[in-house]
Amino acid sequence: MEIPLFKIYSDEMDLEAVANVLKSGMRWAIGSSVPEFEKQISEYIEIKYCSVFNSGTSALHALMLAYDFHRGEEIIVPSFTFISTANAPLFVNAKPVLADIELKSLGLDPNDVLEKITSKTKAIIPVHYGGCPAQISALKEIAEDHNLVLIEDAAESFGTTINGKMTGTFGESSMLSFCQNKIITTGEGGAIVTDSKDIHDKLILIRSHGRLEDKDYFTSAISGDYVSLGYNFRLSNIKAALGLAQIAKVEDIISRREKVANYYIERLKNNKEIILPFNPPNARHVFQLFSIRIKHGYRDELINFLKKRGIMSKVYFSPVHLTHFYKIVLGYNIQLPNTESVSNDILSLPIYPTMTEEEQNYVIDSLKRFFEIKTSGEHG
């Protein structure tokens, strides 16, 4: 078998949505699908405002600008994350302060966050790892107590809930990602959701050259006024149309992912060589990733073993503070014990909505065979 790490879930609705925009002959960049996609996201998450961007990274960059973070200010972020979370403060010359994670949700450790707060701290950006909610209530309380901005990186948790409340609605603003391996996808894409009209209005200017969006630039005889510095961070109408088709089936997609994850958990729960992903009883984990932890230092051997059997696996994530850029170029010299421990043994297994029991059994049986070889002293 050849089993990839993920497969995009798509159907005829996606093809038709994109085709309709293409057939329009002109509304490929700006069009009605963009505000409609934003409306659908806002309604699904139950938040007032949504602005879509061409990537989650662009969305975070714009948000740093909207809050006017700048040189001399500090923003607490996890080192256990995709690097754009940590890089976002650098985009505006602020300093990312890298904090450790706790070992259940693999999100920011509230206790370590408290240790990292200084008079220069302006914001906290927790990540909901792999679709599992971080300890967001505790982090929200810390942010409120210290008058800090709480920004959720909900790139991996679209549809995740805590006591029925969506991730993305706990922070003052939150970032979503629609990259190809996320819960719903536009290929590349992202969004910021917020209840702040002020932040939303700033984001709309930032994403499109600082231009007032009171008319369609490509169909109006008047180009419109430019009132601030901005970028071209827009999501195209083509991709927004695809996003509309995707969000229409988001609950089906999540249900399918939950089914695959639950099958893994049931078949692997008695395996003493691995630690299964934490699944909070008061939350809905959407399993954007299915990440297990491998005991006894066998992780890298297992990656190669699975690869030989045609099974893709991947390490999400290596510590940001140990990358060449942060350690050598920026001179970060810190120790984050939980982050380093988890990053040494974490491994994401294949998971996608259309994954069959036959495919899962092949992955599970391959894991079983690997550990049989390791414990018996056989050669693989």
As a whole number, the mean pLDDT across the chain is 97
**Do residues 191 and 176 touch, judged by C-beta distance below 8 A?**
yes
- Give the position of tokens 């210290």: 146
pLDDT attached to residue 220: 78
**For 299-325, what is each residue's pLDDT tens digit?**
999 999 999 999 999 999 999 999 999
Is it the case that residue 380 has pLDDT exceeding 60? no
Which residues have a Cβ under 8 Å from the Cβ of 317 and sit 6 or more positions away? 80, 81, 82, 343, 346
Is it the case that residue 245 has pLDDT exceeding 60? yes
**For 116-133, what is each residue's pLDDT tens digit?**
999 999 999 999 999 999
**For 184-194, what is each residue's pLDDT tens digit?**
999 999 999 99
**For 83-114, what is each residue's pLDDT tens digit?**
999 999 999 999 999 999 999 999 999 999 99
Q: Report the interhelical angle of 237-247 vs 33-45 (nearest 10°).
A: 30
Taking the C-alpha atoms of residue 60 and residue 155, their distance in angstroms, rounded to an integer, is 10
The three-class DSSP label of residue 87 is helix
Is it the case that residue 1 has pLDDT exceeding 60? yes
Lowest average pLDDT, out of 25-34, 59-68, 336-345, goes to: 25-34
pLDDT attached to residue 64: 98
Is it the case that residue 219 has pLDDT exceeding 90? no
- Percent of the chain whose predicted confidence (pLDDT) is above 90: 94
The pLDDT of 278-294, averaged and rounded, is 97
- Percent of the chain whose predicted confidence (pLDDT) is above 70: 99
Confidence band of 217 (pLDDT split at 50, 70, 90): confident
Is it the case that residue 297 has pLDDT exceeding 90? yes
pLDDT attached to residue 332: 98
Taking the C-alpha atoms of residue 307 and residue 5, their distance in angstroms, rounded to an integer, is 11
Alpha carbon separation from 273 to 220, 226, 345 (Å, rounded): 63, 59, 11
Residue with the larger pLDDT of the pair 252 and 215 = 252
pLDDT attached to residue 298: 96
Taking the C-alpha atoms of residue 60 and residue 114, their distance in angstroms, rounded to an integer, is 23
Confidence band of 379 (pLDDT split at 50, 70, 90): low
Pairing of strands 190-194, 49-53: antiparallel
The pLDDT of 17-22, averaged and rounded, is 97
pLDDT attached to residue 308: 98
Confidence band of 151 (pLDDT split at 50, 70, 90): very high
Instruction: State the Cα angle at 267 between 261 and 269, rounded to 5°.
Output: 90
Residue with the larger pLDDT of the pair 219 and 327 = 327
